[in-house]
Chains A and B, each alone.
Chain A
Amino acid sequence: MADWPILSLTTFLPSIGALLILLVRGEEQAVARNAKAIALATSLLTFIVSLGILVKFDPSSAGFQLVEEHSWIPALGIQYLRGIDGVSVWFVLASTFLTPICVLASWDSIDKRVKQFMMSLLLLETMLVGMFTALDFILFYIFFEGVLLPMFLMIGVWGGPGRIYAAYKFFIYTFIGSVLMLLAIVAMYLQVGTMDMRVMLDHTFDPSMQKILWLAFFAAFAVKTPMWPFHTWLPFAHVEAPTAGSVMLAGVMLKMGGYGLIRANLQMLPIGSATYTTLVFVMSVVAIIYTSLVALAQTDMKKMIAYSSVAHMGYVSMGIFSANAQGLDGAMFQMLSHTVVSAALFLCIGVVYNRLHTREIARYGGMAHNMPKYAVVFMLFMLASVGLPGTSGFVGEFLSMLGAYEANTWVGLFASTGLVFGAAYMLLLYRKLFYGKLEKPDVIAMPDLNGKEIIYFAPLIAIVIMMGVYPKSFSGVYAASLDHILTHHREALAAEGLTPPVANPASSFIPAANAETISAHPATSETPGTEHAVEPSNPETPSAETPAEAPHGEPKADANPDAGH
């Protein structure tokens, strides 16, 4: 077991499941039932296998782990090369975790071509896992594009009335972006002579070339993330996609953009990143404010959540290019939190959509009366989306805003307005759905959450709380990798005489020689679970803490920070 190629196993297990489903024959209903059963079993098995990745992964090491290396097309320097580091490991888990949930969520809601739908879902999982674990750029590109196909089908075949427009818009938009990326990959290959991403990470590209390459990658990932103004495909895709499609799209596919921004743009092209930081900041801040305002005006609940996704991903891009510890940590955490929260919110919408078959917010109202369990679940995810401390949404949002504020106070200020705007539309949505009088007969007739729904909401709730209360359980896995990335980034910039953006360098706050003359509050020990007495500052001995002792002789005899004289 120890030497099993666990990454490949996780990647291709779902494909095997899909093949099995292909072989299912017989009467239509039986086919549907068997296809669902196989899909659920395969996805669960894949999830269990993927837990093995987490077990084997060593969080203290920053490099790539569980590497699988096989020669593939030696003439072109292309290998079958797989591996993970802290940045990618959670995304693999996110893919394998959400897939069984999607199978469950589609159990009753998909009633045509069930077999094909389940195959698409499993293939999508293969592509996603493959993409996050690829270390060869061609492999990366294949999986990156491969994701498009099952998703295109899911929107185009099982989507709503406007599915054709939405599917094509989604496909062409993202495809154009990734073609530019392919050009960049080829250009980099011509420089380095291999498609091995590890080599490219260590290679320093020519600064002027970096700027062009950066833009090419950025085009691909900005569309995928999506960043304003390349976001207009997302609301359409979400609105038309079936619930499972929305969950995978918001939960994992958008993170491909964030992952790419970290892996290719920030890590491989530090000079490019430094050059275009302002551009990213502007786009992110506009995204946060603009899409929050647009979300306010929506009457379709899925569109509202879709726009909120754009705003939340704005924090991610902003955090990444703040290029400091808090910003990058925040971006990473925000991505993970958004994975869970947006997936959960789309599942929540799926719950009522399955019952009433409309996403029109005005068609609902007063559901807190007849669906109390649902109201509680929705409330929790609403609060997480709003970024309430104690839920997962807070940590990422707060850290990325802090990171941005450190880099540039304007950016931090504008991004923080999201605290208000983000709350506004979510509260509005919640209010229109759940509060007020319960009047409409078809809404009254809706039953509360059923067992299956509770089963897939329960782990999501647990994760949201866990991430909010003890974020280290998640951030501990990638801390070393991010630290390594930042160090590398700073070194690369320093070699060119550049520095990451900083509004207020720490050095400007260590001015006075009297810094150590104040010791009113000795630092308390941080051993968990023990009680310590805080030594109260003693008002009888002011001399020890009077800055008047400071050598520069400034008359500050009044500066005794104690009352009672």
Chain B
Amino acid sequence: MAVIAAIFLPLLASFIAGFFGRRIGDRGSQLVTCAAMLVALGLSIHLFVDVAINGHAQVVTLANWVASGAFHVDWALRVDTLTAVMLIVVNGVSTMVHIYSVGYMSHDPDKPRFMSYLSLFTFMMLMLVTADNLLQMFFGWEGVGVASYLLINFWFEKKSANDASMKAFLVNRVGDFGFALGIFSIFIIFGSVEFSAIFPAAASKAHATFNFLGWHVSALDCACLLLFVGAMGKSAQLGLHTWLPDAMEGPTPVSALIHAATMVTAGVFMLARMSPVFEYAPTALAVVTVLGALTAFVAATIGMTQFDIKRVIAYSTMSQLGYMFFAIGVSAYQAAVFHLMTHAFFKALLFLGAGSVIHAMSGEQDMRKMGGIWKLIPYTWVMMWIGNLALAGIGIPGVYGFAGFYSKDIILEAAYASGTGVGHFAYWLGIAAAFMTAFYSWRLLFMTFHGKPRASKDVMDHVHESPVVMTGPLTVLAVGALLAGIVGYNAFVGHEARPEFWRGAIQVLHAHDSIHAAHEGPHWVGFLPLVVGLVGIGLAYVCYILVPSMPATFTKIVKPLHVLVFNKYFFDQIYTALFVKPAMLLGFGLWKAGDGAIIDGLGPDGVAKTTRGVAAGVSRLQSGYVYHYAFAMVIGVVALVGWFYFKP
């Protein structure tokens, strides 16, 4: 029952706030949704203890969903360690965001609608992580997509918000297209889409081949790659990432909850959930590694050049998701989920902190118009420092580290220790990204809080610390950013405790076990991220505090490169030119030329026209003059006689 309550309470709250928001008022809908989330969080903690620590994994079957021939799917809630971790992450961050929103949205007239959407999103996300089969995961998957669409477009008067929300939905749909094909393939290969049927059978299908579009390919590689396309869309991996930065159009709490902590990690979760299958799909894993590493690198380069405080954090999110993916690619699923968990805390912290800054700066998001406000909002400033220290992965080896210090290091170590070419590729790109992460994080801190104020006097006069309802959630998340790494390390990726904790929720072939290998790898592999991180911070200090003219000089030197990176590698422009415009043109062309000229022109309208023409011609024959008819008769007689005469 705890499972059902933990998942359906947010739905109930969403329903009440959404449909009776006007009756119960702003305060009432905030109370209902926050209370439901708090209860759900409490239940999730209870479940986590029960499942992950005491080992009582469970599956609750609710009802039949789709049944068609051999295709049979139930509504069922599966809670094992992986899900329990996700429950804590989702309900934890979501609760904090709900409470924070009470303060952040205090001037908005549509509070009940906002709270309702947030709770709806949470429900969908919970359905996703508790899915017992791929179809139900797809339900949650698309559900969070819709909730995200609604929330990005929350201020629906803004054209930019309309654009961003549609883009998010459609790019995600491109991913879902792959996901759907992946589900189809899994069903054909395994005869089921339920995890309990797929996972035990995966090994036996390792060498099966599959006819995909006429090619005979490895069945599991094919299915896994298709699933990965879905993950790429949701988790903004390179190629399908263009929606994420634009999604920052939504209110900042939304960015924190959906576009940092939970929804965008759904792809990572899905791949981790499917680990028993991915383990037998080496090609798919290699592709995941390469794409993840490239994403981590490319996003970090873009992050260094942006000026919108939220977009910097958005690209940082994308980069960190890249880390999680290449961790999965080298079979370090547990490290990926560990990073997912720590990242959820510190990235939500960063976003909510940024929200607090924006709130203080009267809505300003451009870092070029900030600076020198750390004394005015000291609490937010401390929180942002903690978040960035966690993101950059700073710590003292063997003593203490911020959350990212543990999770990012184990990912990089595992990538190196995997010993494969793609693993090394990922390691070095990851190191480069780690350097850039530290650089842009401190660039953000320095530009926002330090140096001379660049905002107008009017704005500066109004800078104020956020109310407790906003700083409270920041504090809770900061505790996560401070402690999640050191506390979780042993259980998630530690040497001995790991199997006890996961209990088969994630499965890794012994030969692939890169986390195991990571613990025995050379020491410099683990030190290097920290070193480059510190160098990155130092460089940011030089660039933005000591010699503020340096960034401008530097960008002038590498102008073409800067243009490329600053414009986000022109992905948007290319996609617009390649897909969006042609689709509209093609639609118009098919309508006018295809339907109008060809089908109707040759079909009904053409036939009608011809008929009319013929009829008009024929009717002209009936002129009413006798000699016309007589003449026609003579011709007829001649023709007939001729026919019989010359007939062979």
Mark the stretch among B310-318, B556-564, B589-597 that contacts chain A. Answer: B589-597
In the complex, what residue of chain A is closest to B276 when comparing beta carbons? A561
CB-contacts of A416-447 with B (<8 A): 416-417, 419-421, 423-424, 427-428, 431, 434-437
Q: Is the CB of B510 within 8 A of A560?
A: yes
A371 CB to nearest B CB, Å: 13
Interface string of A337-367 (1 = CB under 8 A from B): 0000000000000000000000000000010
Mark the stretch among A60-68, A206-214, A528-536 that contacts chain B. Answer: A528-536
Interface flag for A294 (CB, 8 Å):
yes
In the complex, what residue of chain A is closest to B497 when comparing beta carbons? A564
Mark the stretch among A36-44, A91-99, A100-108, A501-509 that contacts chain B. Answer: A501-509
Q: Is the CB of A508 within 8 A of B209?
A: yes
**For residue A521, which residues in chain B have a CB less than 8 angstroms away from its CB?**
195-196, 199-200, 504
Q: Is the CB of B504 within 8 A of A293?
A: no
Mark the stretch among A125-133, A154-162, A395-403, A448-456 that contacts chain B. Answer: A395-403
Q: Is the CB of B213 within 8 A of A413?
A: yes
- A561: which of B183, B185, B279 is its contact (CB, 8 Å)? B279
**For residue B210, which residues in chain A have a CB less than 8 angstroms away from its CB?**
504
A436 CB to nearest B CB, Å: 6
Mark the stretch among A1-9, A136-144, A404-412, A458-466 that contacts chain B. Answer: A404-412
Question: Given known contacts A290-B594, A526-B61, A563-B506, is B68 in contact with A437 (CB within 8 Å)?
Answer: no
The bracket for how many chain B residues form the interface is 35 or more
Mark the stretch among B168-176, B285-293, B476-484, B631-639 that contacts chain A. Answer: B168-176
Interface string of A210-241 (1 = CB under 8 A from B): 00000000000000000001001101000000
Inter-chain CA distance A520–B188, complex, in Å, is 21
CB-contacts of B343-367 with A (<8 A): none
Inter-chain CA distance A530–B190, complex, in Å, is 26
**For residue B204, which residues in chain A have a CB less than 8 angstroms away from its CB?**
511-512, 514-515, 517-518, 547
Inter-chain CA distance A539–B157, complex, in Å, is 56
Q: Is the CB of A232 within 8 A of B603?
A: yes
Q: Is the CB of A423 within 8 A of B604?
A: no
Q: Is the CB of B159 within 8 A of A294?
A: no
B398 CB to nearest A CB, Å: 24
Inter-chain CA distance A366–B69, complex, in Å, is 45
A287 CB to nearest B CB, Å: 12
Inter-chain CA distance A471–B66, complex, in Å, is 6
Q: Is the CB of A419 within 8 A of B196?
A: no
Inter-chain CA distance A368–B155, complex, in Å, is 11
- A518: which of B203, B584, B599 is its contact (CB, 8 Å)? B203
Q: Is the CB of A329 within 8 A of B69?
A: yes
Q: Is the CB of A558 within 8 A of B511?
A: yes
**For residue A368, which residues in chain B have a CB less than 8 angstroms away from its CB?**
156
Inter-chain CA distance A530–B187, complex, in Å, is 26
Interface flag for A11 (CB, 8 Å):
no
Inter-chain CA distance A436–B162, complex, in Å, is 8
Interface flag for B262 (CB, 8 Å):
no
Inter-chain CA distance A329–B188, complex, in Å, is 17
Interface flag for A472 (CB, 8 Å):
yes
A222 CB to nearest B CB, Å: 13
Q: Is the CB of B177 within 8 A of A527?
A: no
**For residue B326, which residues in chain A have a CB less than 8 angstroms away from its CB?**
none
Interface string of B182-198 (1 = CB under 8 A from A): 01110111110001110
Interface string of A463-477 (1 = CB under 8 A from B): 000000111100100
- B205: which of A427, A509, A539 is its contact (CB, 8 Å)? A509
Interface flag for A370 (CB, 8 Å):
no
Question: Given known contacts A232-B600, A539-B504, A563-B508, is B66 in contact with A399 (CB within 8 Å)?
Answer: yes
**For residue A405, which residues in chain B have a CB less than 8 angstroms away from its CB?**
181, 184-185, 188
Question: Given known contacts A405-B188, A523-B197, is B58 in contact with A531 (CB within 8 Å)?
Answer: yes
Question: Given known contacts A435-B162, A521-B199, is B157 in contact with A536 (CB within 8 Å)?
Answer: no
In the complex, what residue of chain A is closest to B499 when comparing beta carbons? A564
**For residue B603, which residues in chain A have a CB less than 8 angstroms away from its CB?**
229, 232
Interface flag for A146 (CB, 8 Å):
no
Interface string of A285-329 (1 = CB under 8 A from B): 000001001111110000000000000000000000000111001
Q: Is the CB of A326 within 8 A of B504?
A: no
Inter-chain CA distance A547–B169, complex, in Å, is 42
Inter-chain CA distance A483–B208, complex, in Å, is 29
Q: Is the CB of A294 within 8 A of B180?
A: no
Inter-chain CA distance A334–B577, complex, in Å, is 34
- A471: which of B65, B196, B202, B276 is its contact (CB, 8 Å)? B65
Interface flag for B516 (CB, 8 Å):
yes
Q: Is the CB of B196 within 8 A of A409?
A: no
> Quick one: which of B157, B203, B211 has the most chain A CB within 10 A?
B203
Interface flag for A537 (CB, 8 Å):
yes
Inter-chain CA distance A564–B583, complex, in Å, is 51
Q: Is the CB of A389 within 8 A of B211?
A: no
**For residue B176, which residues in chain A have a CB less than 8 angstroms away from its CB?**
419
> Quick one: which of A515, A539, A560, A563 has the most chain B CB within 10 A?
A563
Interface flag for B143 (CB, 8 Å):
yes
Interface flag for B468 (CB, 8 Å):
no
Inter-chain CA distance A561–B74, complex, in Å, is 26
Q: Is the CB of A420 within 8 A of B594?
A: no
Interface flag for A70 (CB, 8 Å):
no
In the complex, what residue of chain A is closest to B212 when comparing beta carbons? A409
**For residue B505, which residues in chain A have a CB less than 8 angstroms away from its CB?**
536
Q: Is the CB of B166 within 8 A of A431?
A: yes
Q: Is the CB of B203 within 8 A of A514?
A: yes
- B157: which of A366, A402, A469, A538 is its contact (CB, 8 Å)? A366
Interface string of B135-152 (1 = CB under 8 A from A): 100110011001000000
Q: Is the CB of A389 within 8 A of B143?
A: yes
> Quick one: which of B58, B61, B202 has the most chain A CB within 10 A?
B61
Interface flag for B308 (CB, 8 Å):
no
B340 CB to nearest A CB, Å: 17
In the complex, what residue of chain B is closest to A558 when comparing beta carbons? B511
Q: Is the CB of A390 within 8 A of B143?
A: yes
Interface flag for B614 (CB, 8 Å):
no
Q: Is the CB of A398 within 8 A of B180?
A: yes
Interface flag for A198 (CB, 8 Å):
no
Question: Given known contacts A533-B58, A561-B203, is B213 in contact with A409 (CB within 8 Å)?
Answer: yes
> Quick one: which of A173, A420, A421, A503 has the most chain B CB within 10 A?
A420
Q: Is the CB of A293 within 8 A of B590?
A: yes
**For residue B70, which residues in chain A have a CB less than 8 angstroms away from its CB?**
325
Q: Is the CB of B60 within 8 A of A563?
A: no
**For residue A508, which residues in chain B have a CB less than 8 angstroms away from its CB?**
208-209
A328 CB to nearest B CB, Å: 9
Question: Given known contacts A405-B184, A409-B213, is B583 in contact with A424 (CB within 8 Å)?
Answer: yes
Q: Is the CB of B177 within 8 A of A419?
A: yes
Interface flag for A519 (CB, 8 Å):
yes
Interface flag for A266 (CB, 8 Å):
no
Interface string of B355-389 (1 = CB under 8 A from A): 00000000000000000000000000000000000
Q: Is the CB of B156 within 8 A of A435?
A: yes
A450 CB to nearest B CB, Å: 18
Interface flag for B615 (CB, 8 Å):
no
B118 CB to nearest A CB, Å: 17
Q: Is the CB of B583 within 8 A of A528?
A: no
Q: Is the CB of B139 within 8 A of A390?
A: yes
Cβ contacts A to B, 14 pairs, < 8 Å: A232-B604, A233-B604, A296-B587, A324-B69, A398-B66, A435-B156, A436-B156, A470-B64, A506-B188, A518-B200, A523-B197, A529-B62, A537-B504, A563-B334
Closest 6 interchain pairs by CB?
A325-B69, A564-B499, A558-B511, A537-B504, A297-B587, A536-B503
Which residues does B use to contact A, with CB under 8 Å?
3, 55-71, 74, 78, 80, 135, 138-139, 142-143, 146, 153, 156-157, 159, 162, 166, 169-170, 173-174, 176-177, 180-181, 183-185, 187-191, 195-197, 199-214, 219, 276, 279, 334, 498-499, 502-513, 515-516, 583-584, 586-588, 590-591, 594-595, 599-600, 603-604
With A390-B143, A509-B190, A563-B515 given, name 11 new contacts (CB 8 A).
A232-B600, A293-B590, A326-B68, A401-B180, A401-B184, A413-B181, A416-B180, A536-B504, A561-B203, A562-B499, A562-B510
